[in-house]
Amino acid sequence: MTISFKINGKAQTVEVDGQTPLLWVIRDLLNLKGTKFGCGQAACGACTIHVNGEAVRSCSYAVKFAADKEITTIEGLSPSEEQLHPVQQAWIDEIVPQCGYCQPGFMMATAALLNKNPNPTDEDIDNSIINICRCATYYRMRKAIHRAAKLTQANMSASTNQEETTSETH
């Protein structure tokens, strides 16, 4: 079947069996290799992407459900090539990755969490980020999530201040 959607801001149309897991469309047809295959059973989170802003495990999400939706993968997480997403910045600052394989999925899950809950507690993090890391980077990851929350809040208040300054000068 023919399926159209937006991925990382660009319109795409694919010709594919509608039952194909979205993960394989992303990796094999669209050649975006940042999203990883781990378990293939919606258990590990390595394949996490966003569909209309929600974290989704793409290994277990048939591509037909993505029709007319907005998909974001790790390649599209940062607002521009010059600017990192706060989650990416926090991950660098806390030197989170070890082998790195699970990390795109964790970052996508974290970005989705912070969109809904800009200041999560440890309990919120434990309840929402249930991905698996074989290298057990969980401690650094939790620190990075708190750091990303602070960076997000700082960015938000900086842009509010800028808007106020702009409106005062007009």
Q: Contact positions toward ligand FES, by CB under 6 A?
A: 37-40, 42-47, 57, 59, 97-103, 133-135, 137
What element of type H or E holds 42?
none
The least distance separating ligand FES from the CB of residue 74, rounded to whole angstroms, comes to 14
Return the number of the residue (13 or 41) whose C-beta is nearest ligand FES.
41
Rounded distance between C-alpha atoms, residue 94 and residue 57, angstroms: 25
**Nearest distance from C-beta of residue 2 to ligand FES, angstroms:** 25
Minimum distance from residue 106 beta carbon to ligand FES (Å): 7
Q: Where are the beta strands (DSSP E) in the chain?
A: 2-7, 10-15, 48-51, 54-57, 70-72
144: enclosing H helix or E strand: helix 138-168
Please name every residue paired with 55 in a beta bridge, in sequence order, or none if there are none: 50
Nearer to ligand FES, 20 or 153 (CB): 20
User: 33 or 134: whose CB is closer to ligand FES?
Assistant: 134
**Smallest separation (angstroms) from ligand FES to the CB of 112:** 14
Tokens of 101: 């394989």
d(CA 103, CA 44): 11
* CA gap 37, 116 in Å, rounded: 26
For ligand FES, which is the closer residue by CB, 14 or 42? 42
